[in-house]
Amino acid sequence: MKLVILDRDGVINYDSPHFIKNPDEWKPIPGSLEAIALLNQSGFRVALATNQSGIGRGLFDMATLNAIHDKMHRALGQLGGRVDALFYCPHAAGANCDCRKPKSGMIEEIGRRFGIDIRTVYSVGDSLRDLQASAAHGAQCILVLTGKGEKTLIEGDLPENTWVCADLAEAAQRIIAHDNP
């Protein structure tokens, strides 16, 4: 099995410093949904690993998060794409849980659920914490320059061998090319 783990905000959709709190605020980055569909068509399963501390902060509830994800799933389906599994951390930063990135609890759970060695997985994010969570288990990390990506690149300290791509569309092309030399 081939698997790609994606962060959501800043990778698939535009991010907001005030959180994505309802379906109307969820807007895909141009080319991102097509990139997921291309990955699917190339034999990759796609899992999301996303921090959603807005739940823990009381900014939105589970029904709203589900509505946001329903919008994403419908938009993907119209393009022939899908997300096979969605993992999220609902905790606020101070909760000290194991699932909030940069800790790797979500990544470990994805590995268990899919029965896959994370060292064979590609992981795409726009922040250092996305990359750190996956790098802890040896995934091929990919930084996209959308969302917080440009700031993350400038700040440096990326995990060793991190690929840098303009956006998810470029990352998908590189993943597919690397998988089919």
Give the residue numbers marked as catalytic.
7, 9
Residue bearing tokens 């709203």: 64
Task: Please choose, from the candidates 81, 87, 169, the residue with its C-alpha nearest in 3D space to the C-alpha of residue 124.
Answer: 169
The rounded distance, in Å, linking the Cα atoms of 71 and 65 is: 10
Largest CA distance in the chain: 47
Map tokens 């795409």 to a residue.
124
Q: For the chain, where are the E strands, in sequence order?
A: 2-6, 44-51, 85-89, 122-125, 140-144, 163-165
Q: How far, CA to CA in Å, does 99 sit from each of 53, 56, 141?
A: 11, 13, 18
